[in-house]
Structure 1
């Protein structure tokens, strides 16, 4: 799908060179590692998914028929009302792995309401044979029903079209069908990514690698303020557009380096979006104060061009930037033969990284209610992180990407209280379901525990931070040693001054204090604009459109008074000079 200028995307390719022998070698080893990491599903599981989707399609038609009859439709008209499913996300893109969920969009006619979806359809799912773990979250940013059928997890979203019936041959390519949808329906729609990449096979192999890396590094979670599947897919697709003839190994190596160097206030776009109040407001947060929260704008190519990264916070952006840098360093070594792909997929160190953790526990006495309640709590964690970012003593609030579920059998009301507060002891953990029989006050408690790592800035000598107990064993994998509680020490005064140095036991145990972002004595020269720090956020130094990345110094920025060229930046592979347009076209 090339535009009138002969290339995909909103800017010309950086390079159209064919793959080198070295690129072919590292691509071969990459695919071997992906197979070793079990990222491809078996043929049996693939067939099971097809059968499950057939059952789901029939359920949606039955749901629409039932609602149509309730609205007074005749039997014939109710049967003709239709209803159709569309898959999207990793399954639609062809990059799902064993156990991955299927993102499914239920398209219904105009007389079927969202209330019907959560009241009637959710009940139908619960009553269907082979369906388990049904959980609807109607108040989430993207209203969703989660469930498993034949042990295949499925996420259901709903879109209501302005049609009296849904034809069998319906596609969502016509934007005119989508213009009358309400706001929450719009967020439910898929994308056109596969139509906008030069080579689908290369895109899929590259994205499979990036997804595995993001999951291992615990930065794959839209709900917790990181990037979700659509955003990661769009980033990889944009790199594929910039290198249309590159193969997977080359795409992955360039991905990390360009992402680390990218000036994120400039949006990522796969195609030119139509101009208008909504589109301009969404993808140009610099011009509209209400959209300044879009820190890493990645705009979906399907109508109406929504920002797929609205959840990103100051803390999660900083964490992802650090991971891009680490990834860039590793692939640089892979290119020259000093590392292998396995090192890119090393597991995160979240539960070894911080000295203090905030623990949020969602608990109920009913498994079905627990699914709803824990989902609701998880959907609110991002708001908590944003509030924490304004606490003066905190330099970083790092949410973990998933909750930890546990079932506890409590013999007394006191044990119930302890479990709900996260204070389970060894005695409670030894209780079994049989121990509860015939005991008054005994009950089963279902808990989901979420964690936020806290980096706390250096304290004065008379400051105090409350004691925090050690992390529970269930956050660690078998054989993984739990770190010993760190001994708190007073920071020693710097030599020759009465002030304390810039270290503190309250900072992450393995990290140096976060650098301060300051300009040198002289103002930043044009063509850069500088926005001073405000409301706890760091200052922003922004390049004007069409500023170039030369592969040597990266995008200009000042860190601790050092300007362009004074800070080492990852190099693009194979020695090429790269210019990345940072105007409306994105990276």
Structure 2
């Protein structure tokens, strides 16, 4: 339990460090930096820098043989999206036609001859859909790889205007100033995040399209073909001439393509990744926005273990996954091969993750490095509370699998983990608005700032234990969402004043110019006995997942919790014996319900 307790200390210097005398329990994988453009990378772990070979995209191909017990469990948890598969394929086809017509119109405006004979925009998927692990709630991540005559300015002007006038498109939200510029919208009920990049040489793009059957000749009412999509294969030549935004936009597809080429068994990788993501969602440790891990992070972690254990099946990989990362000596980075710091020939230099050059990279707590140039830390926003929560849940998961009733039985991973029974004190954050449209905008703003609140709560006297899930409620026309952060306190602390810890967060919220009357946020301290009933035994419920009631498993979960946390009550940070007075009565709340709007108005907490 000594290693486990280290993750409860409040300063990065106190987190587990590399220990050369204690690395025998996990695969050895030294960090490698590639600074040589002439390296031919004959080893499989390093071949990605020149781009994996072109291959058929198999994301939608079903695994061979009858479903395993693990797959059956995941289907019961709604981790598959078979029912909406044709809708997603149809949305991709419609999007391809929209982009084709947009490209043709740009050529016509420039008086090009025979615009129909020019290469069209390639629609390339990435993320969970490309990896074949998407759920019903998953967005569809798409790259529009365009010929040279299309520009990013056209993308955010004429294409956005075209989408805005298309009756099939709703919730259009272009974000041209984002770190990776994106157009967000819903097309025929499918949420799409569309990125843009254009190639300098269109010959490869044209050859790819000549080899594919044209969807432009198929009527929208025709049934969707069941054969797998064949994706455009990106290589280093597609990076030539790209600016930094273009490289970042392309790299989502490159990373997905790379991982599918590196893992020894794609179907085993997919099944394991689905299970890990389901576990993370149930136990409240999955959310990039809240400073936890997201899809790309979990995928790289699973791919690393799969590459190190090519003969393991999915249940074996799950056990190895949790044993490996529950003992990982962060901040040692997880990589899939060489860290790519030098650009391929003809590609502009870009800053890559390299703590030897950039001291700020050395401050990252949980580096999970992307396998293509420029190698980046995909988990740069992980904070101390989030790392503590992830590591704690991984230790519990490893214990549960090692003590399963039978080898390969993974059902314990998907039970309610008892987060709302393990702590005595919580902060409850309520986000509310008077109608659905206002709530959507208000919720997005508050969610984007929640990581700041979590970080501010972390002090030498207080440790924050956030649960990465929102619980949605509706009362008439009022929409409300609840978020919870458990609190533990240093031994000897008698009074905790959270006014300063919450002030910066509330200032950011209050400063938002888009706030309307009825948009409200409140923060209150609640004890374990006063938690709302909808969080107890229903920790898998949120706006993006199905309800999964685990009350029947509470006794076994409590037994495991007691085994795991017997030493926690004797540690410097307590959740049971030490019950200090928590001063949140003077902590400011946003706006009193029903009161007039004022950016500076405050009210006391209830």
TM-score scaled by structure 1?
Answer: 0.63
Name whichever of 130-139 and 316-325 sits farther off: 130-139
Match of 1:157 in 2: 195
Query: For 1:382 and 1:362, how far apart are their aligned partners in 2?
Result: 18
Q: CA deviation at 1:454?
A: 4.0
Q: CA deviation at 1:122?
A: 4.0
1:52 aligned onto 2:91:
yes
Does the aligned pair in 2 maintain the 1:455–1:506 contact within 8 Å?
no
Match of 2:72 in 1: 32
Does the aligned pair in 2 maintain the 1:83–1:109 contact within 8 Å?
yes
1:177 aligned onto 2:238:
yes
1:396 aligned onto 2:396:
no
Match of 1:41 in 2: 81
Name stretches of at least 5 consecutive residues in structure 1 with no aligned partner.
11-26, 408-428, 433-444, 482-499, 509-587
Q: Deviations over 1:76-115 (max 9, x none)?
A: 4488362222111111111223343222122234564545
Judging changes above 3 Å, is the alpha-carbon distance between structure 1 residues 59 and 363 closer, same or farther for their aligned structure 2 residues?
Answer: farther
Q: CA deviation at 1:259?
A: 0.9
Does the aligned pair in 2 maintain the 1:137–1:375 contact within 8 Å?
no
Q: Secondary structure at the match of 1:193?
A: helix
Match of 1:468 in 2: 525
Q: Secondary structure at the match of 1:63?
A: helix
Does the aligned pair in 2 maintain the 1:360–1:451 contact within 8 Å?
no
What is the number of equivalent residue pairs in this alignment? 432
Q: CA deviation at 1:235?
A: 1.1
Q: CA deviation at 1:176?
A: 3.1
Q: Secondary structure at the match of 1:292?
A: helix
Query: For 2:483 and 2:174, how far apart are their aligned partners in 1?
Result: 20
Counterpart mapping for 1:392-431 below 5 A:
392-396=460-464, 398=466, 400-403=467-470, 429-430=475-476
Higher RCO structure, 1 or 2 (CA under 8 Å, sep 6+): 2
Match of 1:559 in 2: none
Match of 1:497 in 2: none
Q: Deviations over 1:269-307 (max 9, x none)?
A: 223244439999644436632213422212212232222
1:316 aligned onto 2:377:
no
Does the aligned pair in 2 maintain the 1:68–1:78 contact within 8 Å?
no
Name stretches of at least 5 consecutive residues in structure 2 with no aligned partner.
1-39, 48-66, 210-231, 500-523, 542-546, 552-573, 583-606
Match of 1:549 in 2: none
Counterpart mapping for 1:145-544 below 5 A:
145-162=183-200, 167=206, 169=208, 171-188=232-249, 189=251, 190=253, 191=255, 192-276=258-342, 282-285=352-355, 288-334=358-404, 337=406, 340-350=409-419, 354=423, 355-357=425-427, 359=429, 361=431, 367=437, 371=440, 374-389=443-458, 391-396=459-464, 398=466, 400-403=467-470, 429-430=475-476, 450-458=483-491, 460-461=493-494, 468=525, 503-505=577-579
Match of 1:101 in 2: 139
Judging changes above 3 Å, is the alpha-carbon distance between structure 1 residues 353 and 173 closer, same or farther for their aligned structure 2 residues?
Answer: same
Query: For 1:356 and 1:304, how far apart are their aligned partners in 2?
Result: 41
Q: Deviations over 1:389-430 (max 9, x none)?
A: 3x44332252x43545566xxxxxxxxxxxxxxxxxxxxx35
Judging changes above 3 Å, is the alpha-carbon distance between structure 1 residues 114 and 456 closer, same or farther for their aligned structure 2 residues?
Answer: farther
Name whichever of 195-204 and 263-272 sits farther off: 263-272
Does the aligned pair in 1 maintain the 2:46–2:338 contact within 8 Å?
yes
Q: Secondary structure at the match of 1:167?
A: helix
Q: Secondary structure at the match of 2:468?
A: coil
Q: Deviations over 1:527-566 (max 9, x none)?
A: xxxxxxxxxxxxxxxxxxxxxxxxxxxxxxxxxxxxxxxx
Query: For 2:117 and 2:480, how far apart are their aligned partners in 1?
Result: 43
1:91 aligned onto 2:129:
yes
